[in-house]
Chain A
Amino acid sequence: MAIVQLKDICKQFDGGEANAVDHFDLTTRDGEFVVLVGPSGCGKTTTMRMIAGLEEISKGELWIGDRNVDGIPAKDRDIAMVFQSYALYPHMSVRENMAFSLKLKKRPKAEITKAVNDAAEILGIQNLLDRKPKALSGGQRQRVALGRAIVRQPQVFLMDEPLSNLDAKMRVEMRAEIVKLHRKLGVTTFYVTHDQVEAMTMGQRIVVMRDGYIQQIDAPNALYERPVNMFVAGFIGTPSMNFLKARVDDASQRLIGEGFSIAMEKAHETALANHLGREVWAGVRPEHLDLVTDANAGTTDNQLTGTVEVIEPLGAVTIVQVRVGEHIVTAELDSHTSLAMGDPAALTCDSHKLHLFDAASEKTLLETSDSGKRTTGDAKTTTA
């Protein structure tokens, strides 16, 4: 267990123009579960490989515990990594796979046997110890890969998209299992994924990355409630947040666009003080939209009107896409909605849950949490 400090780390590949990872700055808590999340090519795996010692750090310092590990070879960094492909040694049995690192360290036989058996017990794979990886299912291989990391009793776990090769059901199962395992062992863990659901459900803190830059570091709920820019807002949450280009109308104190009109909150007035009469992005999550019916017609004057284009019943809820002006607005509605394709529909939203972003910089205009604010200083926020 250790605190890991990444101090202003940059990575530039040979022949690459831009930094693959740009000024990555993060200090973990002891035993924290940190998730690095972002679309492919955002630098999350490169960051992890630098921590592992598989890639050199171009600039910056990396501390694990009280050691600067720059120049310390991977095997002496006291870390263990779980690979996306599991990277089990195909010619070795499960037992040999797990024992390999200890065997190289020339630990006594009895100690190795005990360590392997203990790890196998934690993961429930005692009955697989004499099998070859080939004879295992995906979930079992995943457990063996975790076991190989556990036996070393490292200070830091690194997991590189460990669940992406599993089927959906197994993924949910292993997700819970890894979280439980982390709670039991209390080892500082870095977990890389491109799946925001995995990030939200597993991470104590989440680092959202894009194009090598950190966008925001925050707890799952803070990311959801107070995204610092449109990228984070759109990345976290399914279905994604709707973005509407709206004009801030001074006279009526409303956000107005084609097909919709939303009243401003008190909090918005200060946020939008400099944007009166100009355009901003209004963000609203699909789960915060509701259908206007006879019952609630009088209680709200926030209206988004358009025609229904797509209806996706999911059982518990129904996802509806409504064309509002030039925008397609996705709404998560009650599953008993009577809407049909082509129907006119009126949606309403809660102004409290509205997000506002600058039209040019795409940064939030609302209050952010402290940790969020600190990390957005040089964040790159233009959309591609």
Chain B
Amino acid sequence: MNDDQNNQDNGRRNALKGLLGIPFAAGAVWGAIKHTQKQQLEKKNILNVLNIDAKRPDNTANLAGDPVRIGIIGFGIRGPQLLQALGKATTSWIDNMKKNNPDRLQAFLDQEDLNVKITGVCDLFDVRADEAVESFKDDGCKRYRHHEEMLASPDIDAVIIATPDHWHAPIAIKALQAGKHVYVEKPMTHNIAETYALRDAVRNAKNLVLQVGHQHRQTQSFITAQDIIDKRILGHVSLVTTNTNRNSDNGAWQYEIHEKANPQTVDWQQFLGSAPKIPYNAEHFFRWRKWWAYGSGLSGDLMSHDFDRINCVLKMGMPKSVVASGGIYTHHDGREVPDNFQVSMEYPDFSTGSSREAGLEKGMTFVYSATLGNQFSRQTLLMGHDGTMDLGNTLSVWADPNSTRFKEQIKNGIIDPNVPMYAYNPAADELDAVTSATSKYFADKGLLWTYVNGRRVDSTNLHLKEWLNAIRNGTPVSCGIDQGFEEAMSSHMGGISWKAGRRVEWDHATESIVALPGENLDEVLLRTNVGMYDKVIG
């Protein structure tokens, strides 16, 4: 071998050394492609089995024309939030967000313009009313001392009611009679009689729209959940569990008492309305949720949310019977409403469909369990023979290991009962149906889903948009009087059961809560001790 040959060999060997990495790079790329293909195939297989259509119904709205002129009644905590969802924020909120939460401010500014003007405000506390007038002066916002003055005004087309509960129905009824459209916060009513009265008022007001403030009906996970139920993926749901878990002053309605509140700045007599006439009491004014005279306890205040969350998915309507128990165990601070509250609602004739032999499965229990002394997050679970749905802002569905419907897929390994067979991210167009430890981890953690891809949209904004679209174009609303009626009546049954200490029944034929001989159910429900607070006045 001569030198030239040696050099040539070395050259070739060196050239090969230069290219050594190429097959490895190709290997890594090939491996990644194969892995992804396998995952996509698994996902496709499961999705073919489930055939869930997660698309939101068309919610485009024609909101052109003159702005709808809105009067806000109640501008405490929820009132300003509702106006923010309409694209109207107070000057102080905007300044606060500029400093502390620019992302939230940006999300607010990015909201769809709903073409409204805030032309009136009613609030019984001068500071709040003045703030609204000042913030919305460009809209021509005027303060009305009494809601009846506002309702008589030709400058108002529609009202948003975010008052204490005992004012919801009286104002809503008057508004409808005055020809104004109504958006009313939950619970729709404070007692049984006014629930019927409000329903009559809506039925008599032919061209007016009432929407109850259960904005979760706009949340994509709840729309997807309805499709999952319609496709009978869970099989027969025998148990639904819902919860409230809170462990803070704010969560227990111990709101701040404003330093400028006094009998001169608060219209106390008007606040009282149907409540017992007691002297001015700042705590009652700001923390009204703690007393039956103005609020509705955990049943109307928070269970109403959970009831409607499930009712919009299952459409199970009124329960046959309701049993409630609980007490004041974590906040002995003078309140009357329980802070620990457990309710069982029975639906013996209800079924979401069965994959088993005909007649075997029928009946369901809805459970609501609440404490204001612990905030461990318990999931909302819809538990069926074929699967379990964990329903919140995110949605996950697990196959049941003993499912009849998915028996074959579980056997073949297409579906693993230990990880979600379907998980949905409401904020993104993407859905992730696969079954990996990572997606399970992030789904459990719950911090991922709302931010991926698209921008975040406030459900309340969509709910108000639906209401405004209905006002302008006669389209339907998702939480009208019938849904509100069921939400309110089932809440009242919970309250009555707790107060009367007995099982309360619903008569489907007469659409009424069954009273014992001589019993006035509204009296039981509204029974309050606030009259005893005379001595504690501020």
Do chains A and B stick together as partners?
Answer: no
Which residues of A line the B interface, CB within 8 A? Answer: none
